[in-house]
Amino acid sequence: MPTASTVDRPVRVYADGIFDLFHSGHARALMQAKTLFPNSYLLVGVCSDDLTHKFKGFTVMNEAERYEALRHCRYVDEVIRDAPWTLTPEFLEKHKIDFVAHDDIPYSSAGSDDVYKHIKEAGMFVPTQRTEGISTSDIITRIVRDYDVYARRNLQRGYTAKELNVSFINEKKYRFQNQVDKMKEKVKNVEERSKEFVNRVEEKSHDLIQKWEEKSREFIGNFLELFGPDGAWKQMFQERSSRMLQALSPKQSPVSSPTRSRSPSRSPSPTFTWLPNKTSPPSSPKAASASISSMSEGDEDEK
């Protein structure tokens, strides 16, 4: 039996399966088979629909779709169509297969407890690891579990009840549920828009209150600066009051004016000053007329 150290050509590794609903678990298994040896050639056998339906059950994808899915996997070098369910020495020799890669779980089928038992006994079996949480059966289980959801979705997308194998009553029920869901979605959108509007109003109110507080503090500060104990209005009032007091009670003029210096060369001009007689006023009209006549005589003497 050839080994990896004695083979001069690429090691030919074979992996087979149904590969229905090709998923990441399939791709990881093929990646492991491809990287078993530094230089390898991976052949992938895919069973036909007739063989699969006979030994395993109905598939979601037909054989042409499954072939095409494998052909686009980057780890696959060659796809063998209509692969046998149980590997025979003739099939191994025909394709010059060196090793068979598959997970190590016993695969009971076609009246055998493990269809890979003779491959393991021949030393040609290389185990791969399964990817937990993903398999074709898991995917189908999800679809069956959420059948109503997918049926309603496909009805909404234009598929007919006949294509979905849905009864008339279920079709009406699904369509009514779709209408209810649309109404719920509209209500939800209205609620979200209302919340957004309320949030915007609250933000604007907060901004307005903040601006009002700032303006209020500014107004109070300006008021105190103008009308406070030491404000500008008090100073201005005091200044105006002092000015009014000065206007109402001006300063007294000096009692005596400064005396001019007299020139010795020139004598002062004579001035005539009339001084009233400091005698007591006349006690009677006769006395008053006598005083007037005496003043008249005096003036005549001066002339």
Domain ranges of the chain: 11-128, 136-245
User: Is 302 exposed, middle or buried (CB count within 10 Å of its CB: 0-12, 13-18, 19+)?
Assistant: exposed
Distances (CA, A) of 207 to 98, 106, 201, 214, 221: 78, 72, 10, 11, 21
Which one has a higher pLDDT value, 216 or 227? 216
Q: What is the pLDDT of residue 67?
A: 97
- The 3-state DSSP composition of the chain as helix, strand, coil percent (nearest 5) reads 50, 10, 40
* Average pLDDT, integer, range 172-187: 81
Distances (CA, A) of 211 to 40, 56, 59, 234: 75, 76, 70, 30
What is the predicted pLDDT for the residue at 250?
61
Q: Using pLDDT thresholds of 50, 70 and 90, give the confidence band for residue 222.
A: confident
Mean pLDDT of 212-231: 75
Backbone dihedral angles phi then psi of residue 112, each to the nearest 5 degrees? -120, 145
Residue 282 pLDDT grade (very low, low, confident, very high; cuts 50, 70, 90)? low
pLDDT one-digit tens code per residue, 70-99: 999 999 999 999 999 999 999 999 999 999
pLDDT band at 199 (very low <50, low <70, confident <90, very high): confident
Among residues of the chain, what percentage have pLDDT more than 90?
A: 41
Q: Is the pLDDT of residue 281 over 80?
A: no
Q: Which CATH number is associated with domain 11-128?
A: 3.40.50.620
**What does the mean pLDDT of the chain come to?**
81
pLDDT > 60? residue 224: yes
Most confident of 117-126, 230-239, 251-260, 276-285: 117-126
pLDDT value at residue 295: 53
Q: What is the arithmetic mean of pLDDT over 145-169?
A: 88
Give Cβ neighbours of residue 265 (< 8 Å, ≥ 6 apart): none
Instruction: Say yes or no to pLDDT of 20 above 70.
Output: yes
Least confident of 22-36, 186-200, 280-294: 280-294
* pLDDT computed for residue 127 by the predictor: 95
**H/E element holding 277?**
none
Q: pTM for the full model?
A: 0.57
